[in-house]
């Protein structure tokens, strides 16, 4: 049981450090983004990004791929990265590390469960 708690603590610590590095290494340069949706005004918050998913007015002509590209651009602008760097950090570094983290947690939990079942018999 102690190993599972340690793994949780290490995972949370790793993701906090990962996020802090993402925030602190941004270069605070505002990059002009041509990818924003053409039919919508400039986004001012993350809430506006997610509210457009529920606001299906015909003039928005929502394309989910374009919306995702806009979100990546907005995140990059918010933290001082361009689109390509943000895309690389999220999809090439972040998601594989997250998947490996989840797999490691599941494996440790399974082995802990097997140990507990053997002890109880």
Averaged pLDDT of the chain: 82
Q: Which of 120, 116, 82, 100 is nearest to 10 (CA)?
A: 100
Predicted confidence band of residue 55 (pLDDT cuts 50, 70, 90): low
The Cα–Cα gap between 45 and 50 comes to 9
Residue among 91, 68, 86 at smallest CA distance from 31: 86
80 falls in which pLDDT band (50, 70, 90)?
A: confident
For the four alpha carbons of 66, 43, 76 and 93, in that order, the dihedral sign comes to negative
Q: How many residues does the chain have?
A: 121
The pLDDT of residue 119:
84
**pTM of this structure:** 0.75
The CB-based long-range contact list for 92-95 (8 Å cut-off, 24+ gap) reads 94/18
* Residues 71, 65 contacting (CB under 8 angstroms): no
Q: What is the pLDDT of residues 25-42, one digit of tens each?
A: 887 665 555 556 555 556
Q: Where are the domains of the chain?
A: 2-120
Sign of CA dihedral 121, 102, 49, 30: positive
């Amino acid at each position: 049981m102690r190993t599972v708690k340690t793994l949780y603590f290490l995972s949370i610590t790793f993701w906090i450090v990962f996020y802090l590095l993402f925030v602190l290494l941004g270069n605070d340069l505002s990059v002009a983004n041509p990818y924003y949706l053409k039919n919508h005004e400039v986004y001012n918050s993350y809430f506006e990004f997610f509210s457009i998913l529920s606001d299906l007015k015909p003039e928005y002509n929502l394309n989910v791929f374009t919306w995702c590209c806009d979100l990546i651009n907005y995140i990059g602008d918010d933290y001082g990265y361009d689109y390509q760097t943000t895309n690389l950090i999220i999809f090439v570094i972040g998601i594989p590390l997250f998947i490996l983290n989840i797999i490691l947690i599941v494996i440790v939990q399974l082995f802990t469960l097997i140990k507990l079942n053997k002890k109880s018999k």
